[in-house]
Amino acid sequence: MLQISMSLRMFFLGVFVLLIGCKKENTTTEVKVNPKEKNSNPIQKPLQLTLDQANTLADLPLACVQVEYPNKLNQTLGGKENLGEPKALHPAFYGCFDWHSSVHGHWSLVKLLKKFPKLDKREKALEKLNQNISKENIAIEVQYFEDKHNQSYERTYGWAWLLKLAEELHTWDDPAARVLEENLKPLTELIAQKYIEFLPRLNYPIRVGEHTNTAFGLSFAWDYANTVSDLKLKESIERKAREFYSNDKDCPIGWEPSGFDFLSPCFEEIDIMRRVLTKTEFEQWISDFMPQLKAKNFSIDVGEVSDRNDGKLVHLDGLNFSRAWVLNGLAKQYEGYEHLLYVANTHINYSLPNLINDAYEGGHWLGSFAIYALDVNTL
């Protein structure tokens, strides 16, 4: 009996040691050395959007902002009176498969027209913008958002892109922009007010890699508030960002990405905190939250897409672009992060070629992510 007892003791001791070993292995740092550069990432300049690329990328929103089907409405029906064709329900933003993709498709056209006055299809783009973003169409959009059954419609991903569109129009020095900005104004003001009312009621952040990610929504809304000097909205966003994220430490970047991510929970948090914190505050915060970013050999694998005809799996191309714009923004804002441009460029170069002749599953939205990642203002 003594021999059996000792054997069992040795067996359980072995299992315990094995489990401890596995736990240690799974919690090691996620910093990886780039095999092409053992000591540091080669310093690179941020990739820039060219006119040729702009002409190609403009074709993506032009091909979908007035395409009604297929369509994913994501609405709540209070009764049969809420039933309707997409264009009847959302006469401004009915194309590109869903409401938010239509909004950032319109943003893409505005951004490209603004950056490239000699865009090949300038007149066609302006025509579609004026047809869709009319006073009459926006009035119907406002009515939809005020419906008691759809108070939370597109919260906060679509809200964020609507404010990004409004910001882009506001900073575009062109007579056409003044008309479009004025037409969009009732919906812009409604969405800004929805943010102000909603944020105090949100007790916990949403840390996912898809639409409802809180940090992403706060970042774009903060940009709008900062640009148009909406101090009430800006203060509301800063207060909530500090409340949610100031004490966060050791973000588990090794858990990313999840299978359908197009946003990085860790990186999106960095994106909002670099905006709202002072330099001193941010340097202390990032040292606790993700210190490995300061390592000159920091690397992270790109998100690999196995099937670009699958609307969910193609999200990972979006992840590559959104990671890139966070890293580019950080490298531009603060010295000491220039080595991250290599990582950003690697992510962009993996996914950018895939937009050419892409399936509709990616083509209806990925162009916007690519444009934002390449935008000189972001970089």
pTM for the complete prediction?
A: 0.89
Distances in Å between the alpha carbon of 286 and those of 269, 280, 340? 10, 10, 14
Predicted confidence band of residue 1 (pLDDT cuts 50, 70, 90): very low
How far apart, in whole angstroms, are the C-alpha atoms of residue 156 and residue 204?
Answer: 14
Contact 95, 68 (CB under 8 A): yes
What would the two tokens of residue 319 be? 């992840």
Number of H helices, E strands in the chain: 16, 0
Sequential DSSP letters for 360-376: HHHHTTHHHHHHHHH-T
Q: What share of the chain is helix, strand, coil (3-state, %, to 5)?
A: 60, 0, 40
Q: How far apart are the first and last CA of the chain?
A: 72
Q: Which of 276, 219, 269, 274 is nearest to 245 (CA)?
A: 269
The predicted-structure confidence for 43-97, as pLDDT tens digits, reads as follows 888 898 999 999 999 999 999 999 999 999 999 999 998 999 999 999 999 999 9
How far apart, in whole angstroms, are the C-alpha atoms of residue 30 and residue 299?
Answer: 9
DSSP state of 256: P
> Phi then psi for 345, rounded to 5 degrees?
-65, -35
- Angle at alpha carbon of residue 230, lines to 227 and 232, rounded to 5°: 145
Q: Which of 45, 52, 64, 44 is nearest to 368 (CA)?
A: 64
Q: Count Cβ atoms below 10 Å from residue 321 Cβ, excluding itself.
A: 27
Predicted confidence band of residue 163 (pLDDT cuts 50, 70, 90): very high
- Across the chain, mean pLDDT equals 90
The predicted-structure confidence for 166-225, as pLDDT tens digits, reads as follows 999 999 999 999 999 999 999 999 999 999 999 999 999 999 999 999 999 999 999 999
Lowest mean pLDDT of 20-29, 30-39, 50-59, 122-131, name the range: 20-29
Task: Say which residues have a Cβ less than 8 Å from residue 25's Cβ, sequence separation at least 6.
Answer: none
